[in-house]
Amino acid sequence: MLRAMDLRLDGKVALVAASSQGLGRAIAHTLAGEGCNLIMCARGEAALSAAAEAIASATGAQVLHRPADLSRGEDIEALVADARARFGAVDILVTNAGGPAPGPFEAHDAAAWEQAYALTLRSVVELVRAVLPAMRAQRWGRILNVTSIAVKQPVDGLILSNSLRAAVTGMARTLANEVAADGITVNNLMPGYTRTDRIVQLAQARAERDGTSIEAVFAEWERQIPVGRLGEPHELAAMAAFLASEHAAYVTGQSIAVDGGWIRALV
C-alpha cells in the first residue's frame, strides 16, 4: 500500500499565479490539499471564482482569489497587498503565466516581444520582488517558477517562449545562490506536453501551419515521448508540492522536467 508523505505544509501560505485552470489550478489544488492557505489569481474573474470555490470546498483550505493581469505591475502590488492583509507573509510563491504566442521570428513585431516580456519574465521578477523581503525576514521560503521543456530543448515555432523562459531560468538560478542562506529555495518546473488548454492551442496552430489535423499533431508528440502519452496536470502539481515542502530543503537552483522523458539532454 502506498503511504502519503507528510509534506509538513499545514498553515503555509501559497500564492499561485494563473491558477484558474490548467497547471496553475492543479498546483493550487494540490497545495491546498496538503494544508496550505491559498492566494489565487487569473485574468478571468468568473473562471477564477469558480476554481477558488471548488478548491476551498474540496480541501477545506482558506482561499483568497483576486483577478489580476500579471503583466501589470500595479496588479501584482495589489495582489500581494491583499495576501498580506489576509494571511501575512507569503511562504510559497508559484509563478506561472499563459505562454506567449507561437510563431517564427518574422511573425512577431516589437510589440509582441514587449508583451511576451511583460507576461513571461517581468511578471516573475515583480512577483519575487514583492514577496522576497518577508521570506528573508522569516528565514523560510519557496519560489517555484513554471517554465517549460523549451528551456532545455527549444521547441520549433516557440521563439518567444524559448527566449523568455530561458531568461527566467537564468534569473532563478542566480537568485537561488543569493537567498539560500536565508532558508529560501528557488527552483523551476519544466512541464512537458501536458493535457491543458494551452497544449490544445499549440496543436491547433501546428495543425494549421502544417495542413494536418489536431489528432495527428497529438499523435506525433506522443511518439516523441518515451512514456507514450501526454502528461496530466496533477503529475506536475505533485512535483511542485514536494519542492515546496520541508523534504526538499536541500534542493535549490534546479530546473526539473516533468515530461515523460521527452528531453534527450544528459544534463
Residue 133 has a pLDDT of 97
Does pTM top 0.85 for this prediction?
yes
Look over the chain and give the mean of its residue pLDDT values, rounded to a whole number.
Answer: 94
Is the model's pLDDT at 2 over the cut of 50?
A: no
- Rounded mean pLDDT, 188-201: 92
Residue 102 has a pLDDT of 87
Q: Cell match 504566442: residue? A: 101
The helix/strand/coil state of 246 is helix
The secondary structure of 165-228 as a DSSP string is HHHHHHHHHHHHHHHGGGTEEEEEEEE-SBSSHHHHHHHHHHHHHHT--HHHHHHHHHHHSTTS
Q: In this predicted model, what pLDDT tens digit does every residue of 225-242 receive, in sequence order?
A: 999 999 999 999 999 999
Question: Which three three-digit cell numbers place residue 211?
Answer: 495542413
Residue 4 has a pLDDT of 59
Yes or no: say if 94 and 146 are a contact pair by the CB < 8 Å rule: yes
Amino acid identity, residue 6? D
Is the model's pLDDT at 3 over the cut of 80?
A: no
Question: Which three three-digit cell numbers place residue 71?
Answer: 503583466
CA distance 81 to 188: 25
Instruction: Give the chain's end-to-end CA distance (angstroms, integer).
Output: 33
Is the model's pLDDT at 267 over the cut of 80?
A: no
Name the E strands within 19-109.
37-42, 63-67, 92-95
Yes or no: say if 174 and 184 are a contact pair by the CB < 8 Å rule: no
Q: What superfamily in CATH does domain 13-194+232-258 come from?
A: NAD(P)-binding Rossmann-like Domain (3.40.50.720)
Residue 209 has a pLDDT of 87
Q: In this predicted model, what pLDDT tens digit does every residue of 50-79 receive, in sequence order?
A: 999 999 999 999 999 999 999 999 999 999
Residue 265 has a pLDDT of 84
